[in-house]
């Protein structure tokens, strides 16, 4: 696929489904691409099992989406779905989270075929339960590690990079949201920022003093002579165009390593986790407010950040009124009458 978001090689029903997701349900490009990729994996599995005489010996990467057709996809049974999920677990070695995503994709696709456009009567994904996802706490930087990262920012584009990291750690932005910021998305008094989140949903982000100071410093040195198409972009790359997601990811890794934090396995998205955790643990931010700050649709998504920090657990233990301990003096000695008679 020459263009990552070109779906012309997919069967007609898949193309119609992807267009429905993007055009009607307003799903993001990346979400639609993930649907495409999961359906491609499923189609390859079907070709190898249902048309084994032709495809069994062909490597997966050599099987193209155009090899599949609508007939292959509509003649799918409950057993086919079960076998595919087993294949995802054993052959692809997908973890529970990845298998759950694949099943969610298939459910959405076959709901579209059976309910929306009614080209099938029976939904083959019915009564199939998703693998239970492992509950994982999000990785994040501690308060001290966050300060270390910010304090260590240096280099030719230090003001820009410092502003980027400051926005990540204070506002919890997604990397795509940060890259998409235009100059006119920031209010004239630098009090608010408008971003476009998942599903092209717009939300207002309130800026604190740290963000305002960082933005003021950056705007003074922002590169001039920006390419015409990107002249309104806030963050500019050294090539004088809008900074890309890949560039931001690279510079975050660079600064983490320079700060001595590269071993922690952090990423751009982990800085979003960090912002949420710091606001909850140190700012006492209500989880419903945090949901709006982060641009989550469901409160359950936000609640993963409400994990209790080790320090709070320690503080809770130390807050027990018995934490200081009680000096043991023993029980008062009781004199037995018989003992008195013997002395």
Q: From the candidates 64, 198, 212, 240, give the one annotated as an active-site residue.
A: 198
Of 36, 157, 218, 305, the catalytic one is 305
Selecting among 174, 242, 270, 273, the annotated active-site residue is 174
37: annotated active-site residue: no
First to last CA, the chain: 103
CATH 1.10.443.10 residue ranges for the chain: 143-316
Task: Please tell me the distance from the alpha carbon of residue 43 to that of residue 71, in angstroms, as a whole number.
Answer: 11
Verify whether residue 198 is a known catalytic residue: yes
Active-site option among 27, 160, 272, 291: 272
Q: Which residue in the list 99, 270, 273, 296 is annotated as catalytic?
A: 296
Q: Is 174 a catalytic residue?
A: yes
Q: What is the pLDDT of residue 1?
A: 35
305 part of the active site? yes
Low-confidence ranges of the chain (pLDDT < 70): 1-5, 130-137, 305-317, 322-323, 325, 330-343
Q: 269 an active-site residue?
A: yes
Q: 143-316 is classed in which CATH architecture?
A: Orthogonal Bundle (1.10)
Catalytic choice (107, 240, 269, 307): 269
Residues forming CATH 1.10.150 domain(s) in the chain = 12-116
pLDDT at 334: 60
DSSP state at residue 199: G
pLDDT score recorded for residue 78: 92
Report pLDDT for 343: 44
Q: What is the pLDDT of residue 342?
A: 47
Contact status, residue 175 vs residue 249, Cβ threshold 8 Å: yes
CATH fit for domain 12-116, picks 2.40.50, 1.20.1080, 1.10.150, 1.20.1090:
1.10.150
């Amino acid at each position: 696929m020459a263009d990552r978001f070109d779906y012309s090689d997919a069967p007609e029903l898949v193309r119609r489904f992807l267009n429905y997701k993007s055009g009607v349900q307003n799903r993001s490009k990346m979400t639609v691409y993930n649907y495409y990729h999961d359906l491609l994996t499923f189609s390859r599995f079907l070709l190898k099992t249902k048309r084994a005489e032709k495809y069994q010996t062909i490597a997966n990467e050599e099987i193209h989406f155009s090899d599949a057709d609508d007939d292959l996809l509509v003649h799918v049974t409950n057993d086919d779905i079960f076998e595919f999920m087993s294949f995802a677990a054993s052959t692809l070695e997908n973890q529970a989270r990845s298998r759950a995503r694949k099943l969610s994709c298939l459910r959405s696709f076959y709901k579209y075929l059976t309910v929306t456009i009614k080209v099938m009567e029976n939904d083959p994904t019915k009564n199939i339960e998703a693998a239970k996802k492992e509950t994982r706490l999000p990785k994040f930087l501690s308060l001290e590690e966050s300060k270390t990262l910010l304090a260590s920012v240096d280099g030719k584009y230090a003001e820009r990079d410092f502003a980027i990291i400051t926005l990540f750690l204070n506002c919890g932005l997604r990397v795509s949201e940060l890259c998409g910021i235009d100059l006119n998305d920031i209010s004239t008094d630098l009090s608010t920022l408008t971003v476009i989140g998942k599903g092209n949903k717009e939300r207002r982000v309130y800026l604190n003093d740290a963000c305002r100071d960082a933005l003021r410093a950056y705007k003074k040195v922002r590169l001039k002579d920006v390419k015409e198409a990107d002249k309104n972009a806030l963050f500019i790359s050294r090539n004088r165009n809008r900074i890309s997601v890949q560039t931001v990811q690279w510079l975050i890794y660079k600064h983490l390593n320079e700060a001595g934090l590269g071993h922690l396995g952090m990423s751009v998205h982990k800085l979003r986790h960090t912002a949420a955790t710091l606001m909850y643990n140190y700012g006492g931010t209500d989880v419903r407010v945090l949901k709006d700050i982060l641009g989550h649709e469901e409160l359950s998504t936000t609640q993963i950040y409400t994990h209790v920090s080790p320090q709070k657990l320690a503080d809770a233990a130390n807050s027990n009124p018995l934490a200081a301990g009680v000096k043991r003096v023993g029980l008062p000695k009781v004199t037995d009458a018989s003992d008195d008679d013997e002395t």
